[in-house]
Amino acid sequence: MNNTLYIDRFIFWAETDTEKIPDVSFIPPMLRRRMSIVEKIAVSLASKVAPESADYRVVFASRFGEWNQTIKLIRQFYEDKEMSPAGFSNSVHNASVGHLSLLTSNKNSYNSISAGERTIENALLDSLLNEKPVLFIYAEERNPEEYDKAIKEPVISHGCAIYIDKNGSNKYELTSNNENLPPLSFENLQKSLQNGSDIETSNWKLLKK
């Protein structure tokens, strides 16, 4: 396997007081109205870095996925003894990448990954090990209030998109790492890419060349 790859295009986003979701005005209104916040984040950020040609694989990552939509479905079932089919289709973990595939007519395969605290590093590794160009997408929405006491710290809406290719100017080399490091965080990934520095996890490194 060729461990050399290039990362020339990436975008990071997090909600602010004035911007709760990134721009989604390009999405057809009928589809936009049905999309969740996670889906809107994922598709919007992907559109900023993906090439016009849809000849790439997609790896989507989200630790918590569609938890607001899932809670809504549970309440609906408890109160009405039924679930909305449209609501259910938006609650599955691969809903975001499914919408993206439809919008871009991308017929290549994709993965949807959730791996607890190691979601970002495991999904990113899956992206790095591909032979084809890969669009890596990570998205989270603000946590429901029901989870306030169950999580270590509040989650706000945030995400990123990274296009990984075999050509470009920003060259990296993938190698193993035996150091006992904490899971790769969103903030550390953002800092490393923006500063053009190495990316390290407990199992692998991405060395800037």
pLDDT per position as a tens digit, 162-171: 999 988 899 9
Average pLDDT over residues 83-89: 60
Does residue 82 lie within any of the structural domains?
yes
Which CATH number goes with the domain that contains 22?
3.40.47.10
Which whole number is the average pLDDT over 133-157?
A: 91
The domain in which residue 48 lies consists of 4-171
Strands 57-61 and 110-113 come out as parallel
List, in sequence order, every residue forming a beta bridge with 83; answer none if it has no partner: none
Q: % helix / strand / coil in the chain, to the nearest 5?
A: 35, 25, 40
Write down the pLDDT at residue 72: 81
Share of the chain above pLDDT 70, in %: 92
- Domains in the chain: how many in total? 1
Among 167, 137, 185, 195, CA closest to 208? 195
Q: Does the pLDDT value for residue 97 go beyond 80? A: no
CA dist 86 and 171 (Å) reads 43
Q: Flag whether 74 is in a domain.
A: yes
In this prediction, residue 2 carries a pLDDT of 65
Decide if 65 is inside a domain: yes
For residues 74 and 148, what is the distance between their CA atoms, to the nearest angstrom? 18
Q: Which of 56-60, 66-70, 94-98, 163-167 shows the lowest mean pLDDT across its residues? A: 94-98
Q: Which two tokens stand for residue 178?
A: 């035996």
Per-residue confidence band for 88, with pLDDT thresholds at 50, 70 and 90: low
